[in-house]
Structure 1
Amino acid sequence: MKKSWVWIFIVLILAACGSGNENEGNLDLSETNFEDISAQAAGTTVDLHMWGGDEGINQYIDEWVAPKLEEEHNITLKRTPVDTKDILSKLYNEKLANKEDGTVDVIWLNGENFKNAKENELLYGPFTDHLPAYQSYYDTDSLSYNNDFGTSVDGLEAPWGKVQFTFLYDTEKVDSPPQSFEELKQWIHENPGKFTYPNPDDFSGNAFVRHLLYQASDSTESLVQEPYSDEKADALGKEVWTYLKEIKSDLWRNGEHYPSSLTELDRLYSQGDVWMTMGYNEARSEHLIDQGVFPESTKSFIMEPGSLGNTHFLAIPFNSGNKAGAITSINYLLSPEAQYVKLQPKYWGDNTPISTDNLPKEQREKFESLDRGASVLPARELEDRFLPEVDSQYVDWIKENWQNEIFKTD
């Protein structure tokens, strides 16, 4: 009899332990506030899987974020460098196998990877309504955070950072940069051979052409929110191809050759063959100036109708074994404290998705006065002129049609 009660006692203990793990892995947000989530996360390990190809980014996570999470939330952050597509492949296989006890708690993704993850139901959520930092300091109605390359976010990922497309020019050769694409066309005609753009197979070259889609569209909101359609692309494309044909003969090498990559365009700019370059990451020129690749007279500019921005996000896999830890960690990564350090050139220099208008005065002034370098535009101008990305299918449409419409034309 005593042995039976002993076994019953052991079974009850094991069941309680199992129940605790299950609750942790299957967090019911409808019945839990953030304070309870944070308390549940204390003493746990969070597995962050992300691209690891930039040493500054890795140092930001390992040397600053991880110690802070340990200090303030008693969370151990484990960073695993991996390609995002490999993460999604792993999650997809675990979904097929009904594996509910996954080893990935937070993933860094956007664009096509997010679209695939959402369509295959690989993500947990919606969870962004339960992030105090996001609700307090971000413009939660922003198209940039509710649409990811044309895919509705629906609370399944939280904006972690953003890069913004800017044009760069040499102030010793260009007195006043153009303020619109019409002015750019005129400048190109007046300065033949001093401008070009990468082949749109390159992402930066493709973005240059995508800006023309926005110029041709009557509404940025409709272009961003509506799914891709061949009819709309073809209608907008008429104006896009006309523009590109009109500038072609005055481009570098008369438009008979286009740089195959942004690296090649940067080289032409550094040599003085062209007087402008371009690309994502509004602060990217700073380290090139420091390295002596770009002239110190390099500055950046944005033209109307605005500047394409690429927001990147953090998400939680459907089978994360530590959803409380994941939510607590993501909330901290979105906090003003973590975002301010991420913004500094020391580690990453990545622009913040925080709406500075939502910050207390002292913090707002701190963000807006941060010196990101003489070539970088003011934070307010970048924020006010940020354009969210269109459906990712337009990227492929431009690649497919540019060859026939522009490169192969006489």
Structure 2
Amino acid sequence: MKSKRFLAMVLAGCMAATALTGCGSSGSSSGSDSSGDAKTVSLWATGSDNVREVYETLVDDFNKNSEYAGKYEVKLNFMLNGTGTQTLTDMLASAKKANQENTDYDIVDLGGDDLSKVVSQIGEDAFVKLDSSKVPNAAGVSAKSSVATDYAQPFRGTTVVLAYDSEKVTNPPKTWDELTAWIKANPGRFAYNTPGTGGAGDSFARTAVYNFMDQEAITSDDTKWEDSWGKGFEYLKSLHQYMYKSGGSIVYPNKNQGTLDLLNQGEIDMCPNWADMVLSQRADGTLKDTIKITQIEPALTGSFQSLVIPTFGSNTDGAYAFMNYMLSDKAQELLVHDMAAIPLIDTSKIDMTGFEDVENLDVNNFRIMSIGDLSTDFNQRWDNEIGALG
């Protein structure tokens, strides 16, 4: 596993790379074996620090204990959210547009919006069309990516839910209308974080807006849909006066953790948050046992994390091996226990003790949203029309 010092070197090397060439050329500072050892598989991922920690555990298990141990060795290249100016999607797009070949982008973990963004820039054929015979563990996985379906393999689910204090809320809302009524009947007891600072608040705001729109819009990055945002933003404005207050002023907390802290401290009674975030913190004792989760109808949005294999990588066979490993019973159980991820395989095959709530989150009923670069415009409009209300 890489040290923090080495991670910093990785990021520094990547950020120093030019927008034209990215950081994917063979022998870069990303951790690829410069000797060209056929065993090396370069894995790229991005996210928060807890995701990095889980990946370090998974990579270590793959390299030492999996059926592929000794045949392949995965090297993790992880980019923490908010570090540097060049994103992983930018780097992939740059490498493809520069016609690079045999890079160290062997296998890449992308969420819904990031996958949509990179596909809109370089097309789905920048990735290997997946051969199911090389991913036998995917046979029991029903989840499908809404973008680049034949090129992206989902391996874990995540969704935003309502987190609430069961001592204060004995009958949580079951529908969006019931939630609206609860918020108005309990002024100051609900909060959602600023959309641009975390996915939970982003999901709440987006879902509120897209509830007024055609279903097809939820997985489209076509700018025409921006003309249909009006009703939803008016709805969000109508809720503004009932949001959490501090010092007499309406406050939208920073980050997903901001709202969860308010809930844990008793400052609010309900908020949207990631299911895995709530359950993992409750499991390790940093969140009160009385904090529960529930989903409403229409549902708050979720997403799949998917693995893709760029056509300009260097080790397709090794990439397939790691993809197959990530859908193994062992890897799925690690994801559940280390980050309360929603597994995509049959849960009867893995130990779900302490994470029974996860079993009630059926990935087949997920409301997946993927709007690509529209998310930037959406968050700017929220800042201008909702955040600025004061």
Task: Quote the offset at 1:236 in angstroms.
Answer: 4.4
Task: Quote the residue 1:63 is aligned against.
Answer: 60
- Structure 1 position 297, deviation (Å): 0.8
Deviations 1:310-360 (A, max 9, x none): 2111122222222122223212222344323332x1x34322233x3xxxx
SS at match of 1:186: helix
Q: What letter is aligned with 1:224?
A: I
Corresponding position of 2:170 = 175
Q: Which residue of 200, 214, 223 corresponds with 2:217?
A: 223
1:241 is aligned to 233
Q: Is the 8 A contact 1:128 1:134 kept in 2?
A: no
Q: Residue 133 of structure 1 contacts residue 332 of structure 1 at CA under 8 Å; is this kept in 2?
A: no
The equivalent of 2:25 in structure 1 is: none
> Which residue of structure 2 lines up, in the alignment, with residue 371 of structure 1?
353
Provide the aligned C-alpha RMSD in A: 3.1
Q: Which residue in 1 is equivalent to 2:8?
A: none
The CA deviation string for residues 205-233 of structure 1, in whole angstroms up to 9 with x for no partner, is 121111113422353xx223444334x33
Q: State the partner residue of 2:26.
A: none
How much has 1:92 moved relative to structure 2? 5.1
User: Which of 389, 403, 406 in structure 1 is aligned with 2:369?
Assistant: 389
**Inter-partner Cα distance in structure 2 for 1:404 and 1:60:** 42
Counterpart residue type for residue 45 of structure 2: M
The answer on 1:80 being equivalent to 2:95 is no
Determine if contact 2:340/2:358 at 8 Å carries over to the other structure. no
Q: Which residue of 2 aligns with 1:165?
A: 160
Q: Decide whether aligned partners of structure 1 residues 158 and 189 sit closer, same or farther in structure 2, where only a CA change above 3 A counts.
A: same
| Counterparts in 2 of 1:136 and 1:252: CA distance versus 1, 3 Å | same
Q: Are the aligned partners of 2:276 and 2:339 in contact in 1 as well (CA < 8 Å)? A: no
Residues 351/102 of structure 1: CA separation in 2 closer, same or farther (3 Å cut): same
Match among 381, 384, 387 for residue 401 of structure 1: 381
Is 1:297 matched up with 2:297? no
Partner of 1:286: 279
Q: Aligned-pair distance for 1:73?
A: 6.5
In the alignment, structure 2 segments of 5+ residues that lack a partner are 1-36, 81-85
What is residue 243 of structure 2 aligned with on the other side? 251
SS in 1 for 2:105: coil
Q: Any conservation in 1 of the 2:62–2:68 contact (CA below 8 Å)?
A: no
Amino acid at match of 1:212: A
Report the 3-state secondary structure (helix = DSSP H, G, I; strand = E; otherwise coil) of the residue aligned with 1:284. helix
In 2, are the aligned partners of 1:206 and 1:398 still within 8 Å (CA)? no
Q: Is residue 110–residue 313 contact of structure 1 (8 Å, CA) maintained in 2?
A: yes
CA distance in 2, matches of 1:88, 1:210: 22
Change (3 A) 1:134 1:300: same
* CA distance in structure 1 between the aligned counterparts of 2:310 and 2:183, rounded to whole angstroms: 48
Task: Return closer, same or farther for 1:128/1:263 CA change in 2, 3 Å cut-off.
Answer: same
For the 8 Å contact 1:61–1:79, the answer to whether it is kept is no
Q: Counterpart of 1:201 in 2: which secondary structure?
A: helix
Deviations 1:152-181 (A, max 9, x none): 314222112121111111111111111112
| 1:111-132 deviation per Cα after TM superposition (whole angstroms, max 9, x unaligned) | 4543454333683311254444
Q: 1:133 to 1:348 in 2, by over 3 A?
A: farther
Kept after mapping to 2: 8 A contact 1:56/1:348: no
Q: How many angstroms does 1:96 deviate by?
A: 5.7
Identity of aligned residues (%): 21
Higher relative contact order by CA 8 Å / sep ≥ 6: 1 or 2? Answer: 1
Task: Summarize the Cα distance change of 1:97–1:283 in structure 2 as closer, same or farther, 3 Å threshold.
Answer: closer
Q: Does the alignment pair 1:333 with 2:316?
A: no
Q: Is the 8 A contact 1:196 1:274 kept in 2?
A: yes
Map residues 4-403 of structure 1 onto 2, 5 A cutoff: 44-51=39-46, 53-54=49-50, 56-69=53-66, 71-72=67-68, 74-83=70-79, 94-95=95-96, 98-118=99-119, 119-120=121-122, 123-133=126-136, 136-139=139-142, 145-147=144-146, 152-203=147-198, 204-219=200-215, 222-230=216-224, 232-238=225-231, 240-253=232-245, 256-280=250-274, 282-289=275-282, 292-343=285-336, 345=337, 347-354=338-345, 356=346, 364-367=347-350, 370-373=352-355, 377-403=357-383
Bigger Rg over Cα? 1
Structure-2 change in CA distance of 1:392 and 1:134 (3 Å): farther
- What TM-score does the superposition give when structure 1 sets the normalisation length? 0.73
Q: Which residue of 2 aligns with 1:21?
A: none
Would the aligned equivalents of 1:49 and 1:106 in 2 still touch at CA under 8 Å? yes
Q: Which runs of 4+ in 1 moved over 6 A?
A: none
> By how many angstroms is 1:302 displaced?
0.8
Structure having the larger proportion of residues in helix: 1
Q: Which residue of 2 aligns with 1:38?
A: none
Does the Cα contact within 8 Å between 2:40 and 2:75 map onto a contact in 1? no
- Matched with 1:22 is none
1:377 alignment partner, SS class: helix
Question: Equivalents in 2 of 1:89, 1:403: separation in Å?
Answer: 25
Alignment deviations for residues 255-312 of structure 1 (CA, whole Å, 9 cap, x no partner): 63322332322222222111113222x1322343355543221110111112311211
5+ residue gaps, structure 1: 1-41, 357-363
